[in-house]
Amino acid sequence: MGLVSDASIRILTDSTADVPPDIARRLRITVVPAYIQIGLQSYRDVPWDSEAGPGLSRRAFYEQLPAMPVFPTTAVPPAYEFAAAYRRLAEEEHADTVIAIVVSALLSGMYNVARLAVQDAPHHLRVHVVDSGQVTMGLGWIVIAAAEAAAKGKSVEEILVLVEGMRRRVRVYAMLDTLD
């Protein structure tokens, strides 16, 4: 499916959505990396195969996980990273609207950071920040559906209705090897 539109609506998410990099590129989804804390070290969460600058790729994370001296945690990026993404979408991709769909506000401060960054976005840019109520690919499926709708020329309102409907229907289940 070769969906790409010149529509001025762009979709943005955070890296916890786990959108595969090839799909993000094809659908022009902007991904703001979360941070991974390992002890006193902080790393940007970058895709599996990324050469996207400094950070810890998923592959490296999972290779190093068994030997990590402390249990890793996540942290939100600074607001300026969202603001920079909003500016880039407005200036380089000529977006007039960004729909930022982020990880559940019940589990992360990402929603608050994305909203805070709106004050530093270009004044002509309309930014809708959406709490997905989801994690991992639950969020990812919503983001992909929103990007496909934008690529098909759907309106902001239609995309927001789609997102809200999916937000209520999508469920994520997890199995853990241990509760330690």
Domain 1-32+78-180 has CATH 1.10.10.10: no
Residue limits of CATH 3.40.50.10170 in the chain: 1-32+78-180
Q: According to the model, what pLDDT value does residue 124 have?
A: 94
Q: According to the model, what pLDDT value does residue 86 have?
A: 98
Q: According to the model, what pLDDT value does residue 90 have?
A: 97
Q: E strands of the chain, at which residues?
A: 9-14, 30-32, 35-38, 41-46, 56-57, 73-75, 97-102, 126-131
Q: According to the model, what pLDDT value does residue 52 have?
A: 54
Phi and psi, residue 8, nearest 5°:
-90, 15
Tokens of 17: 């959505």
- Length of the chain (residues): 180
**Alpha-carbon span 91 to 150, nearest angstrom:** 18
Tokens of 171: 């469920």
Q: According to the model, what pLDDT value does residue 92 have?
A: 94
Per-residue pLDDT 10s for the chain (180 aa) are: 455 544 699 999 999 999 999 999 999 999 999 999 988 888 888 865 555 556 888 788 888 888 888 889 889 999 999 999 999 999 999 999 999 999 999 999 999 999 999 999 999 999 999 999 999 999 999 999 999 999 999 999 999 999 999 999 998 888 877 776
Q: According to the model, what pLDDT value does residue 1 have?
A: 45
